[in-house]
Amino acid sequence: MANPLLLAYNLDETTLRQLEALCLKQRIRFCAVPRDQFSLPIGILAGIPVAARPACSPQSGFCEPMLVMCHMLSPQLDAFLAGMRKDGIPRIALKAVMTPSNVAWNAMQLRNELSAEHEAMQRSARRK
């Protein structure tokens, strides 16, 4: 298995530094993805050769912070998320794990899917 990697999008400088430090402590590679690479499939950024899925929208970017955890096993993922809470890193709503289903998606496609799921969960919670 490849080395664990955190792809980070649209982070402010403070959060970026906090996450870099946490990744260093936990032996996770860290990549702050520049805006000009948002159109690349997340698999390509994680070192996996994949064909890009056709873009679902003409968006050129987004503003919200987003994290994508790549090549992390469940215990490492749990430790990373616990480390975020312990270190007081601000909550980032858009988080995903790279999977075979989303490996060919670019950042905008993943962000759109995560936003739709987040809205659906909020609607469901309000109905209860």
Tens digit of each residue's pLDDT (9 = 90 or more) over 82-108: 999 999 999 999 999 999 999 999 999
Domain ranges, ordered by start, for the chain? 5-127
Tell me, which fold does domain 5-127 have in CATH?
Macrophage Migration Inhibitory Factor (3.30.429)
Cα-based torsion angle of the residue sequence 5, 101, 112, 51 in order, rounded to the nearest 10 degrees: 80
- Average pLDDT over every residue of 35-43: 93
Segment (H or E) for 82:
helix 74-86
Q: Measure the CA–CA gap between 121 and 119, rounded to whole angstroms.
A: 5
Taking only the tens place, the pLDDT of each residue in 48-68 is 988 766 555 445 678 999 999
CA distances for 83 relative to 12, 57, 79, 94, angstroms: 19, 35, 6, 17
